[in-house]
Structure 1
Amino acid sequence: MAACGEGGGGTRAPFGRRFLADPTRLFQHNAWDNVEWSEEQEAAARRKVQENSTQVVSPDQQEAYEVNANQYWDEFYKTHEDGFFKDRHWLFTEFPELAPNQIVSRDAKPDSEDGGAVQQSKSSGPGGRCDDGLGLVEETQASEHLSNSEMSSCRLHTQVETASQNPEAVKLNDFPGSSATYRILEVGCGAGNTVFPILQTNKDPNLFVYCCDFSSRAVNLVKAHPEYDVSRCFAFVHDLCNDQVPFPMPDETLDVVVLIFVLSALLPEKTQSVINRLSQLLKPGGLILLRDYGRYDLTQLRFKKGQCLADNFYVRGDGTRVYFFAQDELDLLFSTAGLEKVQNLVDRRLQVNRGKQVTMYRVWIQCKYRKPLRLRRDQEMNS
């Protein structure tokens, strides 16, 4: 069975090697890869979306969901803590750029659960004090009270506060991870289900991983993880939609930006400005890696009337929101930000509940977009 979507010049390697060639074997496994839809199935999904979109949430309610977005995500992590999502070890099969010097099994598969926590609307930037309550103290005084690890954490907090108060300081290489030569930012890190697999798999001593989330509870879960190492990682609260709050690193310093089920939680009209801002953080040649909900995913079809906010945009029962993308609109968003397509494909998977004899069709979109090399941009500008 052929892979769906398109890649950068060739057919993509599938998540797994399990293809449903014989329909009588449907319930012999929990999942099948790259399952193509019939015209009838596509039409039925389209009708279902039209049906659940007939009743739209009122403008006042929509405004409340936007204004209180951070509260909904904090409540989500208060309820689930770090037990909702599984670590995404499949990342290195699909995104080898996250561990370029590692040999990763091609048998790794994505988890059946989706998502990660997300940045949305109203949130303060990272705090500027150490968690031990000493505040911003001179290191010579703090050394009597702090361990080496705590000292490093305090130093990073100091650097971030300096950057937020004086963006010029960032340009002087006074920022977390300034000595690293390979830098990754994960946006919407949740409880760390992407961050910690990266740190465990990529042993490059020159690697530094930044991770941010809209939810302060999510960031606190990352910091409390036993493998959170301030010499290799920096977690911070950040509101993607507030472009007045600076990132803790300068522009053009990141090799990779990771977006795993993140853009889908943003208000759709804010997505372009977010991608524009993230592209500024990339070095020339740097990549944005994305995996998110595709149009007609099972999750979209399960929404009821009264949960629709706008076309393909819904609110869940817990107040968090989700959008379902098409390939062409993601391509337009990234190309408008000046990025070049490396990969833009649809992954359709058939998941099976063998006990209940139930089938579940998932639709995800996976993208890689590269920031052009400066030389190429300069040539185009001069032509």
Structure 2
Amino acid sequence: MAEANDAAPMDLPIREKQPKQQLTKGMEHMRSYVTIQDNAAATPAKDTTDPGSDAYGVPATYAPIRQPTSAPIQNNPEKRSDPFQFGTRYLEQGDDIFSHNAWDHVEVDPQYSDFIVEQTEFQRSNQVSDFDKQRFNSQPEKWWDKFYSNNAANFFKDRKWLGQEFPVLGEVTREGYGPVTVLEVGAGAGNTAFPILATNENPELRLRACDYSKKAIEIIRAQEAYTAQESPALQADVWDVAGEELPPGLEPGSVDVVLMIFIFSALSPDQWKRAVRNTFTLLKPGGEVLFRDYGRGDLAQVRFKKGRYLDENFYVRGDGTRVYFFEEEELRRIWEGRSAEDGEDANADDESEDKKEAAPKFEIVNLAVDRRMLVNRQRKLKMYRCWMQGRFRKPPT
């Protein structure tokens, strides 16, 4: 034993530091489509997001899609406008792709476009079993209960971009605006409701947060910002937007603004009509829906592998929650009350039990595709994102 202790220390081989892994295991199949070579020339591509930074691709901050009001400055390598306007950072030939972490209005390159088609065919040919389809679709709220039980209020980031993206929220929360009721559908853990409450200066604001996950509502009600309200402006309740009843305490025609932020995609296509009808019923004449959700071909859709495809553009995540990816024209039909087959009035060929009720017809104030590309200099990644954003108004009469 003494001889062993007195022996000269052994020279151990020095291990070289390994470079940081570029991709998660779930995205390894996309390596050649999302990695950037060190000397890669900038070419117009599509919108993206770092998969490890924002939950399920729901961003905490990003550039709004509103059109710029000022002309771009000539000879402007910094891509600035004076004053600065969101939506003006265009990626042009010769630009250093790493000079900024995000580029606006970016289209996917042909290679990535082909990959989307191939990946979609692969997903379609490796669908969820019929047994699992029934399991995931029968009680979707229980999967969200499980999700929030596991993640509490720490998974999604507060959506601080809401007032920037939807200026009407800044108007209704300013001092002196007067009585107004805002309903958030799919409130989750309060990552939309609490930022609105924190900036509110309108003592007559009535903010309602609803979700069909009981656990999510428990999390909202347990937070200090909720329990500390002296004159409660925020009220949270369990409610299924695709159910047969209206939210507790809300009457038809009592809501001024409905928020639907990454919630419509959690519904199955056969729930859309009822969800739209309930929303229409709750809104006052002239009331609006503020809408943000996933677009077709978004990174979150493309990175799904086998065993996640429920139906066309409809998937189940590893935690059992569901997600749908929309096209612009598809959303226009849904909210204007037109059928998918021929674009005509949805009531013309509706044979369901809801036929006795006319399909709601919202006015499309605006609806646009938000395409962005986010890049990560350290990991040499480019992520193409596609979101849908719109404002839908209940006709004044």
Q: So what's the TM-score if we normalise by structure 1?
A: 0.71
Instruction: Tell me by how many angstroms 1:305 deviates.
Output: 1.6
Native 8 Å contact 1:49 1:296 kept in 2: no
Instruction: Look up the SS of the partner of 1:196 in the other structure.
Output: helix
Shift of 1:16: 5.0
Q: Are 1:96 and 2:179 matched, yes or no?
A: no
More displaced, 193-202 or 62-71?
Answer: 62-71
Query: Aligned runs of 1:291-370 on 2, under 5 Å?
Result: 291-336=292-337, 337-370=360-393
SS at match of 2:157: coil
Equivalent residue of 2:209, what SS? strand
Q: Which amino acid aligns with 1:347?
A: D
Of 62, 76, 79, which residue of structure 1 is paired with 2:147?
76
CA positional deviation for 1:23: 5.0
Q: What is the deviation of 1:47?
A: 2.5
Task: Indicate yes or no: 2:201 matched with 1:200.
Answer: no
The reply to whether residue 254 of structure 1 matches residue 252 of structure 2 is no
1:37 partner amino acid: V
The one of 220, 223, 233 equivalent to 1:222 is 220
Cα distance in 2 between the residues matched to 1:91 and 1:315: 27
Other structure's SS at 1:190 match: coil
Whole-Å Cα distance in 2 between the matches of residues 295 and 92 of structure 1? 25
Aligned pair in 2 of structure 1 residues 235, 102: CA closer, same or farther (>3 Å)?
closer
Partner of 2:96: 25
1:279 partner SS: helix
Matched, 1:47 2:118: yes
Aligned residue among 169, 176, 187 for 2:185: 187
4+ residue segments displaced more than 6 Å: none
Equivalences for 1:238-249 in 2 at 5 Å? 238-244=239-245, 246-249=247-250
1:90 shift after superposition: 0.7
| Matched residue type, 1:92 | G
Tell me the matched-pair count.
293
Question: Aligned partner of 2:225: which letter?
Answer: E
Find the aligned partners of 2:247 and 2:202 in 1 and give their Cα distance: 27
Contact 1:87/1:194, CA 8 A, preserved across alignment = yes
Q: Which runs of 5+ in 2 are unaligned?
A: 1-43, 48-65, 70-84, 338-359
Q: Deviations over 1:303-324 (max 9, x none)?
A: 1122100000011111111000
State the partner residue of 1:119: none
Task: Name whichever of 80-89 and 292-301 sits farther off.
Answer: 80-89
Q: SS at 1:78's partner residue?
A: helix
Q: Report the AA paired with residue 373 of structure 2.
A: L
Q: Say if 1:74 and 1:216, in contact at 8 Å, map to a contact too.
A: yes
Are residues 31 and 319 of structure 1, via their aligned partners in 2, closer, same or farther at CA, if it must alter by over 3 Å? same
Structure 1: segments with no counterpart, 5+ residues: 5-9, 104-179, 375-383
Counterparts of 2:140 and 2:269, CA distance in 1:
14
1:58 alignment counterpart: 129
Would you say the 8 A contact 1:46–1:296 is kept in 2? no
* Alpha-carbon distance, 1:220 to partner: 1.3
Aligned-pair CA distance for 1:348: 0.8
SS state at 1:211 partner: strand
More displaced stretch, 227-236 vs 10-19: 10-19
CA RMSD of superposed structures (Å):
2.4
Structure having the larger proportion of residues in helix: 1
Cα deviation 1:316-372 (Å, max 9, x = unaligned): 111111000001111111101210001110001111121110111111000111011
Distance 1:182 1:244 in 2: 22
**Secondary structure of the corresponding residue to residue 225 of structure 2:** coil
